[in-house]
C-alpha cells in the first residue's frame, strides 16, 4: 500500500469511528491486468498491521453481475449507448465501449474540506463508463458499489477530485443518492511535488521492514493534513478517533518530513516496555540478560528497529562476546614520555571494578571510577582520556561504544575484570 493510501484510509477510519459508524474498505480490481490475489492479501495484511481493521470489506470484481445489469438498464433507458471505436491497444481492430450521454451541465457539490466545488461537465463529452457491458470502469463501478453499500461519506485524495463530476452524472443517471465527499490534501515531498515511487520511499511495507512501528506511522500520517488545534504531537489511534474532525483538516498539501517521522517513531519505541521492545523488534542475542540491559541504550540511540539492529551488530557487538583487541588502539591515549601508563591505569581500574557488586548501576560505577580519572586530570598526567579510553576499549573492542560506566553495568563486575585482565596481558605480552 502506498503511504498516501494509508493516510486516506486512516481519515476514513477516524471519521467513521468518531461518529460510531462503519469503516468500509473495497478493493477496486476491475482492471484485471493489474490485479493479483496475493497483492489483494498484502493490502488486507497492511490494514491489519496498521490497526485499521475494516468493519466490512469488499472485492469489486465480485459485483460484476450487478454492474452489468445497471449498464444494460442505462442503455435500455437511452441514458447510455454502445459505441464501436478503434482499439487503443490493438491497431486496426474495433472495440465496443459504453458511453454515458452527457447533457454538459454544470455540477456542484459541497466538499467537507474545500466547500462548494463547481464543474462544467461539457468538456467531458459523452464519456466512457465501461469497456464493455461486462467490464465497467472505475468511476462507474464505485458509484454502484457505494450506493449498494449505503456509503455516506467518501474521503479520498484530491488527485481523484476530477473523477467526482463524472461520478455525480452517473449517480443522477441511475437515480441513486449522492454521498458526502471530502478530498484530502496530497502528501508532498520537500520540493512540494507529489510523492513518487521512483524518488521516494512510499510503500508501507518498506517502512514496516525498516522497523517503524504502526503506532508511529498512524500518529505521523494523522498530522499530515490534520491539526489538533494544539501543540500536541503524539496521539494513539484511540485518541485520534476521539479528537478527529474535518475542521482541523487543511486544504494545502502536507509536506512529508522523514526526520519528523523518525522522531515520532522513536517516541513510540521509547514508550514500549523493555520486554515489548525486544519482542516487537524481533531481536536475538546470545545473552538475553545483557540484551535486556542494553535496551535503554537502544531506546536512546535508535530511531527504528533497523537502527537498533545495526547498533547490536556494530557498536554494541562487544557486549555479547569478548573482543579482539589491537594493542595500538589500546594505548592510543598514552603519552610518549609516560610509557606503561595505560597498563598502570588498567591495573588500578581493575581493583576498583573488583570492589563492585553484581547488578551495579552505571551511576555507581561512575562514582567508583571517575575519581581515578579526575586525579589523572588534576595532576596533568595525560587527562581523563588516559584512564577512560583504555578501559572503554578493553571492555568493548570498539572505537565507538557506550561510556565505560554503562559497559561495566551491562557486563557485570566479573566479566569486566576478566576483559581488563585480558587487556593487561596483551600489554605485558
pLDDT of residue 197: 64
Please state the pTM of the whole predicted model.
0.88
421, 338: one domain:
yes
Angle, vertex CA 405, rays to CA 404 and CA 408, nearest 5: 85
Are residues 69 and 137 located together in one domain of the fold? yes
Both 344 and 300 in a single domain?
A: no
Are both 376 and 291 inside the same structural domain?
Answer: no
Check whether residue 413 and residue 374 sit in a common domain: yes
Residues 62 and 159 grouped into a single domain:
yes
Residues 47 and 178 in one domain: yes
Query: How many domains does the chain fold into?
Result: 3
Q: What confidence score (pLDDT) does residue 91 get? A: 87
Of 123, 156, 188, which closes a domain? 188
Last residue of a domain, one of 155, 188, 221: 188
Domain co-membership, 336 together with 285: no
CB atoms near residue 168 (< 10 Å): 18
pLDDT tens over the chain, length 429 residues: 889 999 999 999 999 999 999 999 999 887 777 778 888 899 999 999 999 999 999 999 899 999 999 999 999 999 999 999 998 888 889 999 999 999 999 999 999 999 999 999 999 999 999 999 999 999 999 999 999 999 999 999 999 999 999 999 999 999 999 999 999 999 998 888 877 666 667 889 999 999 999 999 999 999 999 999 899 999 999 999 999 999 999 998 889 999 999 999 999 999 999 999 999 999 988 889 999 999 999 999 999 999 999 999 988 998 998 889 999 999 988 877 788 888 999 999 999 999 999 999 999 999 999 998 888 776 666 678 888 999 999 999 998 899 999 999 999 999 999 999 999 999 887
344: domain range?
A: 327-428
Supply the pLDDT for residue 37.
82
Domain co-membership, 66 together with 139: yes
Please indicate, yes or no, if residue 210 is contained in any of the structural domains: no
Please indicate, yes or no, whether residues 334 and 298 belong to a single structural domain of this protein. Answer: no
Q: Do 110 and 62 fall into the same domain?
A: yes
* Residue 222 included in any domain: no
Q: Are residues 311 and 339 in the same domain?
A: no
CATH number at residue 102: 3.40.50.620
Q: In this structure, what CATH number is given to the domain that contains residue 335?
A: 1.10.10.350
Amino acid at each position: 500500500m502506498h503511504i498516501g493510501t494509508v493516510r486516506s484510509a486512516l481519515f476514513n477510519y477516524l471519521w467513521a469511528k468518531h461518529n460510531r459508524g462503519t469503516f468500509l474498505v473495497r478493493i477496486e480490481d476491475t482492471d484485471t491486468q493489474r490485479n493479483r490475489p496475493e497483492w489483494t492479501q498484502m493490502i488486507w495484511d497492511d490494514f491489519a498491521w496498521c490497526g485499521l481493521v475494516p468493519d466490512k470489506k469488499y472485492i469489486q470484481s465480485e459485483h460484476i453481475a450487478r454492474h452489468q445489469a445497471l449498464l444494460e438498464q442505462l442503455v435500455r433507458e437511452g441514458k447510455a449507448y454502445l459505441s464501436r471505436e478503434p482499439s487503443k491497444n490493438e491497431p486496426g481492430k474495433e472495440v465496443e465501449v459504453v458511453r454515458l450521454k452527457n447533457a454538459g451541465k454544470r455540477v456542484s457539490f459541497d466538499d467537507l474540506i474545500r466547500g462548494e466545488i463547481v464543474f462544467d461537465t461539457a468538456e467531458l463529452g459523452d464519456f466512457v463508463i465501461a469497456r464493455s457491458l461486462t467490464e465497467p470502469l472505475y468511476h462507474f463501478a464505485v458509484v454502484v458499489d457505494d450506493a449498494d453499500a449505503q456509503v455516506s461519506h467518501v474521503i479520498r485524495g484530491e488527485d481523484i477530485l476530477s473523477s467526482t463530476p463524472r461520478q455525480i452524472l452517473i449517480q443522477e443517471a441511475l437515480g441513486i443518492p449522492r454521498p458526502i465527499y471530502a478530498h484530502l490534501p496530497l502528501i508532498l515531498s520537500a520540493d512540494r511535488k507529489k510523492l513518487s515511487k521512483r524518488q521516494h520511499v512510499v510503500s508501507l511495507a518498506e517502512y514496516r521492514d525498516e522497523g517503524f512501528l504502526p503506532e508511529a506511522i498512524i500518529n505521523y500520517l494523522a498530522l499530515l493534513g490534520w491539526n489538533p488545534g494544539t501543540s500536541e504531537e503524539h496521539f494513539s489511534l484511540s485518541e485520534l478517533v476521539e479528537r478527529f474532525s474535518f475542521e482541523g483538516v487543511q486544504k494545502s498539501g502536507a509536506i512529508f518530513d522523514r526526520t519528523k517521522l523518525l522522531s515520532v517513531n522513536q517516541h513510540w519505541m521509547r514508550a514500549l516496555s523493555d520486554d515489548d521492545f525486544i519482542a516487537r523488534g524481533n531481536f536475538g542475542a546470545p545473552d538475553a540478560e545483557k540484551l535486556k540491559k542494553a535496551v535503554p541504550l537502544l531506546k536512546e540511540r535508535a530511531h527504528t528497529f533497523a537502527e537498533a539492529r545495526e547498533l547490536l551488530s556494530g557498536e554494541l557487538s562487544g557486549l555479547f562476546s569478548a573482543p579482539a583487541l589491537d594493542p595500538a588502539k589500546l594505548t592510543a591515549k598514552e603519552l610518549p614520555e609516560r610509557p606503561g601508563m595505560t597498563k598502570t591505569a588498567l591495573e588500578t581500574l581493575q581493583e576498583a571494578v573488583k570492589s563492585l557488586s553484581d547488578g551495579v548501576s552505571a551511576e555507581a560505577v561512575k562514582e567508583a571510577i571517575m575519581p581515578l580519572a579526575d586525579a589523572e586530570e588534576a595532576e596533568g598526567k595525560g587527562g581523563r582520556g588516559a584512564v577512560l579510553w583504555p578501559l572503554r576499549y578493553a571492555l568493548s573492542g570498539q572505537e565507538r561504544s557506550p561510556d565505560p560506566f554503562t559497559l561495566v553495568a551491562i557486563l557485570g563486575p566479573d566479566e569486566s575484570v576478566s576483559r581488563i585482565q585480558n587487556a593487561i596481558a596483551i600489554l605485558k605480552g
